[in-house]
């Protein structure tokens, strides 16, 4: 139905070992949303993302994508619709950039000509020069590597992008530039994006909506401006207080000149 959320998690729970990692997480995400998933290290963010593309099977609960349970049909058909990019993306070192970007199209049986055309299109999309197609991963900077990783995740035209700390290893300037470049791509390609980040400022500046996961439970779910005004849960308040305190300290330095 038109009003159904594009992605819907219903009471998704997971224990790993004997420990509960996700406690009945429910989340409804409309098509086109850009959601940042934030929370302390170990709070279950990666586990939650992996339940969406079936890298991890929940103990209970369900995940629906575009109205259909993700367990209907084979995993590879689901993953074709989902781009997955993560920190330290690990390009295949023995393949050049074009071959890396073309991995999934190749698995899908695209012709060589169709793959080459798609690689050229994707390099343009992520603002890398066309001659990067022949470069080896070990000749790329960190930012260029992440751009190739994003191109690879987009290769089969997914509608949903799952990104797990995609810019985590980059210097702040490259990180800011790439974050904004990705946000523009999200808008232009009509993607739905869930981006895990531990950087609350990045989340506030890039996303439409921020979901705060603490100890496997969603403790806040709000638009950036709403989250900044959020009061009630001390752990959430502490999390949003830090970037605001830093912004005030910077402003005070400018005032003191």
Ligand X SMILES: Nc1ncnc2c1ncn2[C@@H]1O[C@H](COP(=O)(O)OP(=O)(O)O)[C@@H](O)[C@H]1O
* Residue among 8, 9, 33, 46 that touches ligand X (CB under 6 A): 46
**Nearer to Mg ion (CB atom), residue 159 or residue 169:** 169
Distance CA 97, CA 92 (A): 9
| Closest to 155 in 3D by CA, of 192, 179, 188, 121 | 121
- Classify residue 102 by its DSSP letter: T
User: By C-alpha distance, which of 192, 184, 118, 117 is closest to 151?
Assistant: 118
Please spell the DSSP secondary structure of 202-239, one letter per residue.
HHHHH-SEEEEEETTEEEEEE-HHHHHT--S-HHHHHH
* Residue 45 or 115 with smaller CB distance to Mg ion: 45
If binding means CB under 6 A, how many residues of this protein chain bind ligand X? 11
Tell which one of 33, 46, 53, 197 touches Mg ion (CB under 5 A). Answer: 46
Sites for ligand X among residues 9-28 (CB under 6 A)? 16-17, 21
Stretch that binds ligand X, among 44-52, 94-102, 111-119, 166-174 (CB under 6 A): 44-52
Query: Does 41 help bind ligand X (rule: CB under 6 A)?
Result: yes
Contact pick of 29, 38, 45, 118 for ligand X (by CB under 6 A): 45
Please pick, from the candidates 4, 26, 42, 130, the single residue that binds ligand X as defined by CB under 6 A.
Answer: 42
Indicate the residue among 122 and 195 with the shorter CB distance to Mg ion.
Answer: 195
Q: Please report how many Cα atoms fall inside a 13 Å half-sphere around the Cα of residue 245, on the Cβ side.
A: 6
Determine if 43 is a binding residue for ligand X (CB under 6 A).
yes
Question: Helices (H), strands (E): how many in the chain?
Answer: 10, 10
Instruction: Quickly count: other Cβ atoms within 10 Å of residue 192's Cβ.
Output: 23
Question: Please, what is the minimum distance in Å from the beta carbon of residue 129 to Mg ion?
Answer: 32
Residue 43 in contact with Mg ion, rule: CB under 5 A: no
Nearer to Mg ion, 21 or 155 (CB): 21
The span of 43-51, 129-137, 151-159, 218-226 binding Mg ion (CB under 5 A) equals 43-51
Which range of residues in 38-46, 58-66, 154-162, 238-246 is near ligand X by CB under 6 A? 38-46
- The span from the CA of 238 to the CA of 81, in Å, is 37
* CB atoms inside a 10 Å sphere around CB 230: 16
């Amino acid at each position: 139905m038109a009003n159904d959320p594009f992605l819907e998690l219903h009471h998704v729970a997971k224990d790993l070992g004997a420990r509960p990692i996700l406690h009945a997480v429910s989340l409804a995400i409309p098509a086109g949303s850009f959601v940042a998933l934030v929370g302390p290290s170990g709070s279950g963010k990666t586990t939650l993302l992996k339940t969406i593309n079936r890298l991890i099977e929940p103990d209970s609960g369900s995940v629906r994508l575009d109205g259909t349970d993700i367990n209907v049909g084979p995993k590879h058909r689901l993953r074709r619709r989902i781009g997955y990019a993560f920190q330290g993306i690990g390009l295949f070192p023995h393949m050049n950039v074009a071959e890396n970007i073309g991995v999934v199209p190749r698995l899908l049986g695209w012709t060589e000509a169709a793959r080459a055309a798609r690689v050229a299109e994707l390099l343009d999309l992520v603002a890398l020069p066309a001659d990067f197609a022949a470069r080896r991963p070990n000749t790329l900077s960190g930012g260029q590597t992440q751009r190739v990783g994003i191109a690879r995740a987009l290769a089969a035209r997914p509608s949903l992008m799952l990104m797990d700390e995609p810019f985590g290893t980059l210097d702040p300037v490259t990180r800011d530039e790439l974050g904004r470049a990705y946000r523009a791509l999200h808008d232009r390609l009509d993607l739905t994006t869930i981006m895990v980040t531990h950087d609350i400022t990045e989340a506030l500046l890039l996303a439409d909506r921020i979901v705060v996961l603490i100890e496997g439970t969603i403790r806040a779910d709000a638009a950036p401006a709403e989250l900044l005004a959020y009061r009630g849960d001390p752990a959430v308040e502490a999390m949003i207080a830090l970037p605001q305190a830093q912004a005030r300290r910077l402003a005070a330095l400018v005032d003191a000149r």
